[in-house]
A = this chain, B = another copy of it.
Amino acid sequence: MAETTPDLLPLETVLHIRDTCLCLAAQRAARRLARRFDTVLRPFGLTNGQFSLMVALNQPEPPPMGRLAPFLAMDPSTLTAAVKPLARRGLLVVEPDPQDRRSRRLRITPDGVALMRQAAEVWRVAHAEIDAALPPEVPDALRIGLGQVAALPVSAA
């Protein structure tokens, strides 16, 4: 009787991690939501992340990248990369800040606004479907909890 399987971690450890790890739970839920929004936004050539970024640009003053990255909880270099396809399509323009030439502000263009008007409507429909598919108390509970997780410090106290 050949030994084909190496020793494993204790089963209880594995089940404990699988059932309690918030990182895994968040990744799974985030992927599922991302795929749903990617699907409905595909007619506009936008991904869920591009949509969220474009929403954040709807401010009277074009926000500098240094404010957007923390808001989206993403690395500055990720934002640099994310801007490129949107700028290439003319949905936003990158403007150096005259007051501080290190800083770059992202300004949504009229084309970007026009696209987002339509995209916001399909967002509304898709989000209503998700809200309706969850038990009524879940969406708000998630907003509160996810907000507190996003507000956690990057490293341990």
Contact = CB atoms under 8 A, between A and B. Distances in A.
Q: Interface SS of chain A: helix, strand, loop or mixed?
A: helix
B149 A33 contact: yes
Copies in the complex: 2
Nearest to A126: B156
Contact of A32 (B28, B130, B135, B149): B149
B152 A133 contact: yes
B23 A55 contact: no
Interface string A37-80: 10110000000110010011011101000000000111000000
Given A21-B52, A25-B147, A147-B25, A9 B113 contact: yes
Given A49-B27, A60-B5, A72-B28, A142 B142 contact: yes
B17 A113 contact: no
A27 B8 contact: no
Nearest to A139: B22
Nearest to A138: B145
A25 B152 contact: no
Contact of A123 (B21, B27, B32, B143): B21
A50 to B, nearest CB: 12
A115 to B, nearest CB: 11
Contact of A142 (B22, B39, B72, B107): B22
A26 to B, nearest CB: 4
